């Protein structure tokens, strides 16, 4: 192998290394965007669940006979734990 051939091979290797690094950076950016989308969706779900919990708590506070009404439909339902 001549020095010129060695230089050409080295230049090609450098070019391929740059291409690979570019692809890795692109993949990393795409992964970060995906993580942000998942985080946003997860936070949205948590907020909706919290709102549902609050709505259920508010409704049960307004309807003191809720447990009795549920037991009419589901008589075998285990007793609720004592609330503090």
How far apart (Å, rounded) are the C-alpha atoms in residues 20 and 56?
53
pLDDT tens-place string over residues 10-22: 999 999 999 999 9
Domain range for 50 is: 20-62
User: Helix H segments across 63-76?
Assistant: 66-73
Looking at every residue in the chain, the average pLDDT score rounds to: 86
Tell me whether residue 27 is in a domain.
yes
CA distances from 63 to 49, 70, 72 (A): 21, 11, 15
State the Cα angle at 51 between 47 and 55, rounded to 5°.
170
Tell me whether residue 84 is in a domain.
no
pTM over 0.75: no
Q: Look at residue 21 in the predicted model and tell me its pLDDT.
A: 93
pLDDT along the chain (84 residues), means of 10: 87 93 93 95 90 78 78 86 68
Domain count, the chain: 1
Tell me whether residue 51 is in a domain.
yes
Tell me whether residue 78 is in a domain.
no
How far apart (Å, rounded) are the C-alpha atoms in residues 33 and 83?
44
Tell me whether residue 77 is in a domain.
no
Tell me whether residue 80 is in a domain.
no
């Amino acid at each position: 192998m001549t020095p010129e051939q060695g230089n050409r091979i080295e230049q090609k290797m450098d070019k391929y290394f740059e291409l690979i690094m570019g692809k890795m950076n692109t993949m990393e950016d795409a992964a970060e965007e995906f993580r942000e989308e998942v985080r946003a969706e997860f936070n949205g779900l948590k907020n909706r669940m919290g709102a549902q919990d609050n709505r259920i708590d508010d409704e049960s506070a307004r309807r003191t006979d809720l447990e009795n009404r549920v037991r009419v439909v589901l008589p075998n339902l285990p007793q609720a734990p004592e609330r503090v």
